[in-house]
Amino acid sequence: MIVETGHYALVLALALALAQFAIPFIGARLNDAALMRVARPAAITQFLLVALSYGALTYAHVVSDFSLVNVIENSHSLKPFIYKISGVWGNHEGSMLLWVLVLSLCGALIAIFSHAMPDRLRSDALAVQGLLGAAFLLFILLTSNPFARVAPAPWEGRDLNPILQDPGLAIHPPLLYLGYVGFSIVFSFAAAALIGGRIDAGWARVIRPWTLFAWIALTLGIAMGSYWAYYTLGWGGFWFWDPVENASLMPWIAGTALVHSAAVMEKREALKVWTIFLAILAFSLSLLGTFLVRSGVLTSVHAFASDPDRGVFILTILVFFIGGALALFALRAGALPVGGLFAPISREGALVLNNLLLSACCATVVVGTLYPLALEAITGEKISVGAPFFNTVLIPIALPLALLMPIGQMLSWKRGDLVAALQRLRVAFFVGVFAAAGFGAWYGTPFLSIAAGGIAIYLVVGGLSDLAIRARGRAGHPSFKRLAGLPLSAFGTSIAHAGMGLTLLGLAATGWGVESIVAMKPLSFYDVGPYQIGIESVSPRQGPNYSEVYAVMAVRKDGATLATIEPAKRFYQARRMSRSEAGIVTLGLGQVYAAIGESHEDGTIDARLYWKPLVTLIWIGALVMAFGGALSLADRRLRIGVARRAAAPALEPAE
């Protein structure tokens, strides 16, 4: 009964989504306030209905209702409770339902936090959001119904894929979807602005918090996913340039560009057309990612062609929304008023360059991801585009971009002084060079790591020295009061840039990692970087729905045991699959990482042992970036709902 209620709620949500599209849209055209007012309650109710439906599916998973195909295929009565909840989105149908849940949540958020914007803008944005919701609800109901029943119900389910039975799954997809789908808000506002033909700094002020919100969630989601891959796949990698990963990276890059261009638009009314375009692009790339991941096209073009229902449906949605938005853009963008002017050497100019380089990165990732698919579809020829390609072509764009980041921060708006900006960065520059020399002396080659490490330190110091300089002011001596008086968004920028520097340092340090693949004898120690690792014991252990063998390994330095780690090899009975669980200990900013493998008759056990210096900075940097974004989001000027007051700045006293 609960399951049927959930199913019914989903159908109702579809009907309501259509109403949420049609009624306010017509209302906005007729300038009928009563019709436009339908949008907000419709959006909120649609969210409640989808949430009810989602709750029903979660209930079915929690009570192991094996009359549902979805539960049979992805659950097991012995599965731990948390994975019964997170397992809801660990499969195609459930994850699409989560997608729509987040989409309708975004609609509800617009409805709740939009007091301070013109009625027509809100109505049109919610109408677009309603149309998006309707398309994806239809997709779920027609091709991916999670509520399909089966009779007779089996006694036991087939369990969730072991790789997904991890706390990582509990956090990673919801965050990622908040990011992915969060860009739908910006997309809807861009479409609404184009439909209404009005766009100004007020519009930028409306979208900037949403852009930041989606960007923060996506940043955390990608970082979380990468750490999950790192500790669960057992060979210490954290990014593989897999199309599925690229699918999340593309909107992130576009979103990063958007955060910056929206800042220009809000401050200076410049880059309007470009900002609108990026707003469309960011969500379009999210849709593209959804298509790539959900259609099965990645496994093989042929697998896609043999079971094309889902793929073709998403492709239709994709073409309709991206094509529609771009057509609208082509029709209307020319009519948008020209924004503020600026000299090439200025904060705006630097942000244009930033956008140019980011766009090139984004285009490269898009082409690299789609090229093999297109080539196979056109010529039948199969090629692989993997990590070596992406590293080769992206590093020459990304490193100059990193070099430019602090310079842009130092330039003033409208017309900047490059020499003065570089002078302000001399401390950062020298610290960076010294750091590179230090890295070279301490860790040695590869040269790329040394250079990237130096640039990373320059980025951290450069990002923070902007704060120091602004705290010093004209008077020349630093003042804590001045520092405290700086707007939060200034802290946000500096901290986010420093976070990028930390991540870059972590990435650079991968070149200094030490790997040792050995057949370990019991009770003897093996050198890994500055540490020695030895097996103390190997024992079996029974988990709730798996059995495992784990090794207790001691990590020593100079004879003293610093830590013990427990890499394990788990075997999941229901799916008869094994997976490794890495043993990791964080020492300073680096990690010792161990994974065990095959065992031999002579009593040895194969193991991969790593010392990864500074590796945690990759994810710490992402957290710092997200924190910087959150600070900007907390800035009073950008806080959702204060736009009305900000609309009359002349009456406000200076802060």
Partner 1 sequence: MSRVSTVETGSRNPLPEGEGGRRRRPGEGRLTQRISRPIVIAQAAEGHNGKGATPHPTRLRRATLSPWERGRALILFIALIFPLAAHAVTPGEMLADPALEARARAIAAELRCLVCQNQSIDDSDASLAKDLRVLVREKLKEGMSDAQVREYIHARYGDFVLLRPPMKPDTLLLWSAPLIALLAGAAAVWIAVRRRSGLAAASPAALTAEERARLDGLGVARFDDCESQE
To the nearest whole angstrom, how small is the minimum distance from the Cβ of residue 236 to partner 1?
10
Residue 176: C-alpha distances to residues 40, 139, 373 (Å)? 26, 20, 24
To the nearest whole angstrom, how small is the minimum distance from the Cβ of residue 602 to partner 1?
8
Separation between Cα atoms, residue 148 and residue 150, nearest integer Å: 7
Of 184 and 545, CB closest to partner 1: 545
Of 193 and 553, CB closest to partner 1: 553
Angle at 416 between CA 410 and CA 418, to 5 degrees: 70
Of 173 and 349, CB closest to partner 1: 349
Of 200 and 606, CB closest to partner 1: 606
To the nearest whole angstrom, how small is the minimum distance from the Cβ of residue 124 to partner 1?
27
Instruction: Tell me which H or E stretch contains 577.
Output: strand 577-581
To the nearest whole angstrom, how small is the minimum distance from the Cβ of residue 14 to partner 1?
34
Separation between Cα atoms, residue 386 and residue 363, nearest integer Å: 16
Of 4 and 598, CB closest to partner 1: 598
Of 35 and 471, CB closest to partner 1: 471
What residues contact 60, with CB distance under 8 A and at least 6 apart? 2, 3, 6, 68, 70, 71
To the nearest whole angstrom, how small is the minimum distance from the Cβ of residue 644 to partner 1?
18
Separation between Cα atoms, residue 133 and residue 255, nearest integer Å: 21
Of 12 and 404, CB closest to partner 1: 404
Tell me phi and psi for residue 336, to 5 degrees.
-70, 140
Instruction: Tell me which H or E stretch contains 509.
Output: helix 488-509
DSSP secondary structure letters along 336-386: SPP-----SSSHHHHHHHHHHHHHHHHHHHHHHHHHHHHHHHHH-------
To the nearest whole angstrom, how small is the minimum distance from the Cβ of residue 103 to partner 1?
28
To the nearest whole angstrom, how small is the minimum distance from the Cβ of residue 549 to partner 1?
5
Of 101 and 607, CB closest to partner 1: 607
Separation between Cα atoms, residue 507 and residue 161, nearest integer Å: 30
To the nearest whole angstrom, how small is the minimum distance from the Cβ of residue 654 to partner 1?
7
Please classify residue 52 by burial: count the beta carbons closer than 10 Å to its beta carbon, then call 0-12 exposed, 13-18 middle and 19+ buried.
middle
**Amino acid letter at 505?**
L
To the nearest whole angstrom, how small is the minimum distance from the Cβ of residue 579 to partner 1?
10
Please classify residue 233 by burial: count the beta carbons closer than 10 Å to its beta carbon, then call 0-12 exposed, 13-18 middle and 19+ buried.
middle
- Does the CA dihedral 467-470-476-481 come out positive or negative? negative
Separation between Cα atoms, residue 239 and residue 222, nearest integer Å: 10
Of 38 and 553, CB closest to partner 1: 553
To the nearest whole angstrom, how small is the minimum distance from the Cβ of residue 95 to partner 1?
18
β-strand 525-528 against 531-542: which pairing, if any? antiparallel
Separation between Cα atoms, residue 383 and residue 390, nearest integer Å: 14
What residues contact 91, with CB distance under 8 A and at least 6 apart? 70, 73, 74, 160
